[in-house]
Amino acid sequence: MFQSPENIDIILEHITSLMTSKYDQLLLEQLGVGYAQYKILVQFEESHINRQNIIAKNLGQTEASITRQIKILSRKGLITRGVDPNSKKTRIVTLTFLGRRIQQAARDIVNKQNHDLLIDLDDKDKTRLLSDLNKLHDQLCLKNSHS
User: What tens digit of pLDDT does each residue of 16-32 get?
Assistant: 999 999 999 999 999 99
**What is the distance between the terminal CA atoms of the chain, rounded to a whole angstrom?**
31
CATH code assigned at 102: 1.10.10.10
pLDDT band at 3 (very low <50, low <70, confident <90, very high): low
Q: In terms of residue numbers, what domain contains 95?
A: 9-143
Flag whether 3 is in a domain.
no
Q: What is the pLDDT of residue 46?
A: 80
What average pLDDT does this structure show over 50-55?
85
Flag whether 121 is in a domain.
yes
Flag whether 2 is in a domain.
no
Q: What whole-number distance in Å separates Cα of residue 129 and Cα of residue 145?
A: 24
Flag whether 1 is in a domain.
no
Q: Would you say the C-alpha torsion 88, 36, 6, 113 has a positive or negative sign?
A: positive
> Into how many domains does the chain fold?
1
Flag whether 110 is in a domain.
yes
Closest CA to 39 of 12, 65, 1: 65
- pTM of the complete model beyond 0.75: yes
